[in-house]
Amino acid sequence: MDYLEWRRSGGPPVAVSSPRWPVREVADAGADWVADAKARGVSRRIEATHDGGQTGRSLFASPSGTLLVGTFEPPAEAEPIGSSDAATSAYDDAESRALLARGHPILLFLLLAFVVLLAASGSASSSRGA
């Protein structure tokens, strides 16, 4: 944990700890973020810093105030994390396409079975009429 901030409801920060945090590069928790945290209990955001790093912050809300907890990843560490996220997304994409591809033969079989059933039904009804 690289950042901790406690605020009483609607007030300025009461306590701040930031040994490794580029505080001036990320925006304060706005009213929309605080409202989201109050509705859900906690709300998390990941944001890029101007130097290419990244911050991950979690906002915990209570009736008495908010607690903001965060981590900072410098550019050298943020790049591999971003690459890992992109690779994970690509893998998930490929996996869903493969699942879809495995489903196509089943759909084709069901369609063929339906056509055969319709043909058999049509054939039976035409032979009864004769």
How many whole angstroms separate alpha carbon 104 and alpha carbon 73?
43
According to DSSP, residue 11 is labeled: S
Under 8 Å CB-to-CB from 69, ≥6 apart: which residues? 1, 3, 4, 57, 58, 60
Q: What is the layout of strands, in order, in the sheet containing 65-73?
A: 13-17, 3-8, 65-73, 54-62, 42-48
pTM to 2 decimal places: 0.52
Instruction: Check residues 74 and 121 and name the one with the higher pLDDT.
Output: 121
Decide if pLDDT at 22 tops 70.
Answer: no
What pLDDT, on the 0 to 100 scale, is given for residue 1?
66
Least confident range of 16-20, 38-42, 111-115: 16-20
Instruction: Check residues 122 and 58 and name the one with the higher pLDDT.
Output: 58
Question: What is the torsion angle, in degrees rounded to the nearest 10, for the CA atoms of residue 2, residue 4, residue 86 and residue 92?
Answer: 130
Could you report the per-residue pLDDT of 72-107, keeping only the tens digit for each? 777 776 665 555 555 567 677 777 777 767 777 777
Least confident range of 22-26, 39-43, 75-79, 111-115: 22-26
SS3 content of the chain, % helix, strand, coil (to 5): 50, 30, 20
Q: CA-based angle 8:19:49, to the nearest 5?
A: 85
